[in-house]
Structure 1
């Protein structure tokens, strides 16, 4: 999945420069997105690694000692779906806001 994100980021950069759709907010958001996705990857990998260290079968094993947000995400499919859809809606909204912004 991370590789797919990397390819999409490369294509996004190529199309941005090719069609001259560069903006200051776009450059900043791209850098922020890169840092956030790398940080998220590290958090996920550390969670999976710690799962194996304590002897659990899966990092999705939810029990009483698990963080409440982690429990809500993996224990409730509706909440998990909402999080995924809300994240995509945020990305689309940010993209549309950037596209409709007037050039000064």
Structure 2
């Protein structure tokens, strides 16, 4: 089920950009739904693998890091957290600027979570 959610999220973003249906509300909603699905997965993993403190720590890190990213995005008046044209961080530019690079790491992360 988690894999289905991941694939739907990828297509949702692609269709939104293709048909110019991108909005601030959509960006926030996408991030919130992503955090909810990751939270559910990490809570389940924390119950399956004891002690679950590692998974709950990852949950806190995931929520805090994405909240800060979205907050900074809107603080600087950007339309999307993926707008890194003026960023000096080479990793952000590589990740958000090259869809193959981003796709590989997204899929690799999901596979790693599911297989471990």
Question: Does TM, normalized by the shorter one, top 0.5?
Answer: yes
CA distance in 1, matches of 2:44, 2:66: 25
Larger radius of gyration: 1
Asked whether 1:82 is paired with 2:115, we answer no
CA distance in 2, matches of 1:92, 1:11: 12
On the 8 A contact 2:87/2:93 being kept in 1, the answer is no
The equivalent of 2:36 in structure 1 is 3
CA RMSD of aligned residues (A): 2.2
CA distance in 2, matches of 1:43, 1:11: 21
5+ long unaligned stretches in structure 2: 1-33
Cα distance change, pair 89–80 in 1 and its aligned pair in 2 (3 A): same
Return the offset for 1:4. 2.5
From 47, 50, 56, give the equivalent of 2:69: 47
Tell me the number of residue pairs that the alignment of Structure 1 and Structure 2 aligns. Answer: 82
Q: Secondary structure at the match of 2:50?
A: helix
5+ long unaligned stretches in structure 1: 17-25, 95-104
Q: Structure 1 segments of 4 or more deviating over 4 A?
A: 9-12
Scaled by the length of structure 2, the TM-score of the pair is 0.57
